[in-house]
Amino acid sequence: MKTRWIANARVAETEQRWHDLIVLCDVLFARAQLVMGCIEKYQAFLSASANHFQPQFFMSGRSTILSNYPVVRSSDPALARDRVFTVYGANSFDVRMPRGFAMNADHVQIGGIGLSYAEYTGDVSVGFGDVSFVRQCFSIEGVARYTVSRQSGEIAPGSWSQVLPAYQPLTFDFPSGYRQVAVRIEFDVLLRDLNALLDQDISRNLVFADMPAHPPAMAALRRSVFHLALDYNERGASFSSLAAAEVARMLVTEFLLCHRHNYTPLLFREPLPVSSTVVRTVEEFIEANWDKPIDIEAMVAVAQVSARSLFRQFRKDRGCSPSDFAKRVRLSRAREMLERSRENASVIQVALKCGFQNPGHFARDYRNSFGELPSATLQRARKWTS
C-alpha cells in the first residue's frame, strides 16, 4: 500500500509540473503578444486551411501563412530544386511525377529562428545533410513521413514530428496535397538559452528524447508557432530589432520547456534562492539598456545567477518578471518623449521607437499605466510648446 501511495504521489507531482509548464508556455507567448501586438488569426487560418485543396491545380495566387516571404511558386521541378537547396539547405530533391508537379513555399528568418510554409502538388522526397539547426514540422493537411538516424516517423494532420536533430542526415517524403508549417532553431541558439536558464556550461551535450512530447504542452507550442508566423507575415517589415529579438527568445525558451531532453530534470528542479541585490542590479541594467533587446543571457551575466533563480526572485520582490519591468520602463520613456514632443512627432513614431509594434496595444497599456491615452499627453505637450 505504501509503495502504491508513493507511486501515485509521484505521478500526481509529475502531472502538476507538466500543468505548470503548459501555463508557463501560455504566459511566455502572452508576453510575446504584448511585445509585438500579436493578432488573433490562428483559428481563422486553420479554418481557411480546411478549404478545398485541389492537387491537380497549382494556385499561385493562394494566400498562405507566410505568403509575404515567398521562396518558390512554381511548377518547374528544376527551379523548385534550386530554391530548396539554396534557402532550406537541402541536398536532394526528387519529384516522382514531374507532370502536374507544383510547389508553394515560404520562409522567414528571425534571428536564429526560421519559420517555413510548404505545400506540394505531386509526391516529393527532400533530403538534408548535416545542417546546423534542429527543426519540427506541424502538418496542416496530409500525412508525411521522415527518416533520421535510421528511424522513421509520421506527421499526421494536425500533429507534429519529433524534434529532428541537427548534424544528422534527414529525408522527408511528402505526398501530393501535403501542407505544413515548420520551425527551425539554430543548435547554438538552443545551447545559449539553455546555458542562461540553468547557469551552467552544457557544452554541446543537448539531446532531445525520442519519446512523444506532452500533448498539451505541444499544443501550446503549436499555437505559438502559428501565431508568430501569422503576425510576422502581416507586420514583420515594421518590427524593430528590439521586438523581433525578444519574440524569438521567448519562442526558443518555450521550445526548450515543451520538449523532453537530458536537461529537463534540471529545468524542473527548484531554483536556488538569491538575494534581492540581484533584482536591483538587473533593474539598473534594464533601465540603462531599455532601448535594446533585453536578452536573458545578458541579464544572467549581469546578475551572475541562473535565469530561473533570477525570475523567481524578481517575482518574489517585485511581483512581476524582468520583462514586465522592462515594459514599464519603456512606457515611462515613451511618456517622457511624448511630453517633450514637437509638432512633427506622432504617437506611432514614439511607440515604435520604444519597442511597441501595435499602436492599439501601446495605447491600452499606456492608459492603464498613466490614466490617459498617449494622444492626450501629446496634445497637452503641443499646447505648452505653442
The average confidence (pLDDT) of the chain is 82
pLDDT confidence tier of residue 385, bands split at 50, 70 and 90? low
Region 194-202: mean pLDDT is: 78
Determine phi and psi for 316, rounding to 5 degrees.
-65, -45
**Confidence (pLDDT) at 1:** 53
361's grid cell: 496595444
**Burial (Cβ within 10 Å: 0-12, 13-18, ≥19) of residue 15:** exposed
Among 243, 255, 254, residue whose Cα is nearest residue 294:
243
Give all domains of the chain, ordered by start, each with its CATH number.
2-42+190-324 (no CATH), 53-186 (2.60.120.10), 334-385 (1.10.10.60)
Determine phi and psi for 113, rounding to 5 degrees.
-110, 135
Q: Is the pLDDT of residue 274 over 60?
A: yes
Q: Which is higher by pLDDT, 366 or 50?
A: 366
Q: Going by C-beta distance under 8 Å and a sequence separation of 6 or more, which residues neighbour residue 254?
A: 25, 28, 29, 220, 221, 224
> Torsion over CA of 202, 205, 211 and 215, rounded to 10 degrees?
40
Q: Which of 16-20, 40-44, 226-230 has the highest mean pLDDT?
A: 226-230
**Confidence (pLDDT) at 229:** 93
